[in-house]
Structure 1
Amino acid sequence: MKLAQTILAVLGLTTALISCETEYNNVGTQMLDNDLIGFEKYTATQINAATYLADDVNTRDYTINSLGHHNDAVFGTQTQHLVAQVGLSKTQSLSSIGDNPVIDSVYLHIPFKADALTKANARVVGSGTFDLKVYENGYTLSTSNPANNFSTQYYFSDLKNQIDQNIASTVLNNSTNTQQNTQFKFNTDPIKLYQYDANGQLVKDENNNPKVKETKSAGIWLDLDKNHFQNKFFANNKYKTLINEALFKEYFKGLYLQVNNPTSDALAQFDLTEGSLVFVYKQDKSDKSGKERKELVFTLGRDFGTDGNKNNISVALIENQHSGLLTTALAQANNPLIFLKGNQPTYSKISLFGTDGDNNGKPDELDAIIANNWMINQAVLTLTIDTQTSIANAPNRLFLYDFKNNKVLEDYALDQSTNPLKENYNGILNSGTKKYQFRITNYLKSLIEKDSTNFDLGLVVANEISNSLFNVTKNNKKLPLTASEMPFGTVLYGPNHTDVDKKMKLEIYYTKK
């Protein structure tokens, strides 16, 4: 059998998304091969890797959204905006509003996403400012596409121009507090809401301090123009005609959060389903004896649970300006470095065991392994970060998948570990060695024992390892959704790198029969 010249591919990443100068976390310090002493070990010699830039991705209904701006010397700049429908809560409706409603205030609150792996309270990168403008959206968002037999309607990351052309209001976040608009800045402190009486007067405690009614999670907090919403919904009793969700969303198409003029890095991640748009208003009491203070809470995001309580479309609008370094790297054949990034992701195709010189349908190196008739105890794929090129803000985990069939590996599917999630499958950054490791034992056994021909693996950055859904691009390629939702990336040692110790390694631990 003929074996091609050895090509080793290195692909690795990760770090936490929790500050403007993120350091490696302490998760993943245990090497997967530490407990394999006593077994025989074989290191594969034939591995190829090629990296590609995806087309614009579908950004509808992300499970995790980002907002803000980030400038990366390696990958370039990105600015992320958001357009989002708001919906009626199942426990509240416009029909519950009494007579003569008058809005006291309107606010938008979207909590930051906490990081399950690092235990950080908020995923916020950078301390810069930008001009945040919130508008009423005038562009209709739909779940199905009537022009294509009512198939699923996708919205792609390049939709911003169409949204800009359909703005339906003046700027709504017109607070005198400029940190809510022209000098918007992410604040990671919890948000305190103070108590007011029915007349809108601040309630004091026994020490004459404002009485805290509720403390909300840190996140985006914006006071919006109450006069706009008073006229939109309550003038001429318009709210009484919006008797169902469809009529409501046709009349009010949601909010558009537009990022402008960033001074420096400032980007945050959040789960829209945790957010809300709230009207605080007064209405006549039912016995006409005076006014009473009420709240009307509108939902954000899409809840994919069985109750379907939240069914609101959102679309991430992403502006990327790729760096010359990234463009050159992707165009260069056999580049010694591999560049992986999120949002409009790059992805790497890893081909194991080299060429099939005898044309029997299996790579020659795999044929040799099969012929040895080993009992496979464990297979570990090890990947290393190139810390000389890129390190800050890299994702905490990578996602390795079946490239041919666009699905998770059996090792992922069978892993029931929860703390951290999918720990056996792994792909977590080792904070000491700057390496990632994946257990792909079941995958390798399927190649050997089940005559599988899935010799190609895909590798992307991961935002949430629990998210195993696949997304689509404009040219109909499928990629893991978690890569699209991750705003950052990193650089890895490639197959032609001269540092042999840091190249990708597939190590097979076995027992001779």
Structure 2
Amino acid sequence: MINSSFLKKIILALSAVFIISCDTDYNNLGSDIIDDDVHHGMFQVEAGVTAYDRPTGIVQSNNLTLNTLGAYDNLVFGKTVAHFVTQVQLATVNPTLYAPEIDSVYLYVPYFSSIESTDATTGVSTYDLDSIYGAPETKIKLDVFRNGYFLRDSDPGTSFVSGQKYYSNDKSLIDAAVVGSRLNNFSTAQNDEFPISDDEIARSAIPDGQTESKVVERKAPGIFLYLDKTEFQNMLFGPAAAGKLVNNNIFKEYFRGLYFRVTQLEGQSVMVVPRFDQGVITIKYRDHNISTTESSGHTVDKFAKSMTLNLDGNTINFFENTPKEAFTTAINTSDAAAGDVRLYLKGGEGSMAFIDIDQATIDALKAESQGGQRVLINEANLVFYIDDNTETGMGQGPSDPKKKEKEPLRLLLYDVKNKRPLIDYSLDATTTTINPKYDKFVHGGIREDENGRGTKYKIRITDHINNLVNKDSTNVKLGLVVAEYINLTGNAALKSPFTETTGATAPVTVSTVPVTSVMHPFGTILYGSNSAVPENKRLKLEIFYTKPN
């Protein structure tokens, strides 16, 4: 989720870089046109395209770069409850221990946030949260358990040659292997009514030599939970832990991680993207500095010490979906021949769109070539208009635009057969210093807003069309998905692959989706290519070209 002040900064940065980019593009284009004056004039054609949607089904969701947590009621697509499990590793292996006694155990996972101000008198800072869906202070029930299911690195079904895949519906594996009772039993505000808060976290403790508690540490907003110190005393320092802290391979087999299980509270709807990769468990304990057998009968004092466990290793993000009937009906009744009126795109365990470019348009452009001189493709864009209808589209819900569902910031177009982005994506080296979510902005797929609402997405595919016209590249089926982070090019497996035989292009087996779409469990509704769509909202492929003399 991007706030308005951030948008102003990003627009300024993009404008500066865009001027430079445009100047470079103009000069390159000029060299093509001016050299020997082989081209003249510029023409525009709206190429024929057919677009329709399909459900992705259950998706691979282990070891994602970003993970979601919460329970969110989407007015358009339905409810999603997201849970998370992660391995844990020792920051320092094989610690020297004598008779350790734990004072406290706490977990901290920061949110994505930026500091807005700090009070010079109190030292308290205020923050603005990013990557939160729903209002701050909205609550969930959050249970944190010790995980008893071992998350494998490799798949025994492939003789451990391939990496292990876990899927978005594998939650039952973890539920069946929970060890003991809930660990976060400190207070109701840390379990049964846990708020997703933008408040600074102030940890209090009684410093050595003092009698009163005081703030000893301030942290940016995040998940902060005190965990059951008795459980950790037994787990880390009890008889069962003997020899288990020697290295992390042994430790991960012994302590198999933490499981964050979410239950929605009535009337509450919120989803957040915690920075689990920066999560830590801190154990404050007291221990001797030497063995009591070395003390020659003298009393041996215990000193304050600390142990850190990192949330590190294999992870799985689970999604439990309760989809809206209109969404389910739409993605299961697609019209691949005439194209859909609406395209439903949803990340996570959701849906995607297929796009076929009419080969007749490509052949017509090829026919424009004369005397060995080819048509020059100056620019080509796919333009998708958002359906903001208040009854059937993204405009559903409250009349206040700020309370309606926010459309995803980015869409990603890719080659389904070869499981990779288009050449325009690969050649676009544009970056931003403010937020990498806006990288590759010449290729586009960035939501364009008007009056606080998204209106359209434009994706530049000039090089792709040029290759089809002038280099005899294959006209492959294209896929369109929502994207959380545009720089990720990896793929996530579908639990149930399928073969797409319909449409204008050759049949293709669909066994993966871009992993960036799995990390964004929200969506948008776009107008499709069906003739029933008003012409000014219909999906367009705009091609600008110049002919040879």
TM-score (norm 1): 0.84
What SS does structure 2 have at the residue aligned with 1:448?
helix
Match of 2:99 in 1: 100
Match of 1:262 in 2: 265
Deviation at 1:319, TM superposition (A): 0.6
Match of 1:372 in 2: 368
Q: 1:461 to 1:219 in 2, by over 3 A?
A: same
Distance 2:357 2:378 in 1: 19
Deviation at 1:45, TM superposition (A): 3.5
Distance 1:123 1:97 in 2: 40
Are 1:470 and 2:488 counterparts? Answer: no
Pick aligned residue for 1:219 from 204, 219, 222? 222
Contact 2:47 2:542 in 1 (8 A): no
Match of 1:346 in 2: 351
Contact 1:194 1:202 in 2 (8 A): no
Distance 1:255 1:401 in 2: 35
Contact 2:376 2:545 in 1 (8 A): yes
Greater alpha carbon shift after TM alignment, 327-336 vs 397-406: 327-336
What SS does structure 2 have at the residue aligned with 1:248?
helix
Match of 2:332 in 1: 331
Deviation at 1:368, TM superposition (A): 0.3
What SS does structure 2 have at the residue aligned with 1:152?
coil
Match of 1:424 in 2: 442
Match of 1:7 in 2: none
Pick aligned residue for 2:147 from 127, 137, 150? 137
Contact 2:43 2:545 in 1 (8 A): yes
Q: 1:399 to 1:50 in 2, by over 3 A?
A: same
Deviation at 1:96, TM superposition (A): 2.2
Distance 2:130 2:271 in 1: 11
What SS does structure 2 have at the residue aligned with 1:169?
coil
Q: Which amino acid aligns with 2:311?
A: L
Unaligned runs of 5+ in 1: 1-15, 204-209, 302-311, 354-362
State the Cα deviation string for residues 362-395 of structure 1 (Å, max 9, x = none): x221100111132111112211111111151321
Which protein is richer in helix relative to its size? 2
Q: Which amino acid aligns with 1:443?
A: H
Pick aligned residue for 2:181 from 147, 151, 170? 170
State the Cα deviation string for residues 56-112 of structure 1 (Å, max 9, x = none): 1111111000001111232111101111111122xx12x224321111111111111
Q: 1:249 to 1:489 in 2, by over 3 A?
A: same
Greater alpha carbon shift after TM alignment, 41-50 vs 401-410: 41-50
Match of 1:479 in 2: 513
What SS does structure 1 have at the residue aligned with 2:194?
coil
Alignment of 1:51-450 (within 5 A): 51-89=53-91, 92-93=92-93, 95-113=94-112, 121-127=129-135, 128-150=138-160, 151-176=162-187, 178-194=188-204, 196-198=206-208, 210-213=214-217, 215-236=218-239, 238-263=241-266, 264-286=268-290, 290-301=301-312, 312-334=313-335, 335-353=340-358, 363-373=359-369, 374-388=375-389, 389-390=393-394, 392-419=405-432, 420-432=438-450, 434-450=455-471
Deviation at 1:240, TM superposition (A): 4.4
Contact 1:402 1:454 in 2 (8 A): no
State the Cα deviation string for residues 273-294 of structure 1 (Å, max 9, x = none): 1111221111113487522222
Q: Which amino acid aligns with 2:522?
A: F
What SS does structure 2 have at the residue aligned with 1:370?
helix
What SS does structure 2 have at the residue aligned with 1:162?
helix
Superposition misfits of 4+ residues, deviation over 6 angstroms:
28-39
Unaligned runs of 5+ in 2: 30-39, 115-126, 370-374, 396-404, 433-437, 498-510
Q: Which amino acid aligns with 2:376?
A: M
Q: Which amino acid aligns with 1:126?
A: G
Distance 1:440 1:200 in 2: 67
State the Cα deviation string for residues 214-254 of structure 1 (Å, max 9, x = none): x3221111111111100111123825443111211111111
Match of 1:503 in 2: 538
Deviation at 1:39, TM superposition (A): 6.4
Greater alpha carbon shift after TM alignment, 236-245 vs 130-139: 236-245
Greater alpha carbon shift after TM alignment, 456-465 vs 284-293: 284-293
What SS does structure 2 have at the residue aligned with 1:85?
strand
Q: 1:202 to 1:422 in 2, by over 3 A?
A: farther
Contact 1:51 1:349 in 2 (8 A): yes
Distance 2:81 2:515 in 1: 19
Q: 1:202 to 1:351 in 2, by over 3 A?
A: farther
Contact 2:352 2:480 in 1 (8 A): yes
State the superposition RMSD in angstroms: 2.8
Distance 2:101 2:240 in 1: 11
Distance 1:201 1:493 in 2: 66
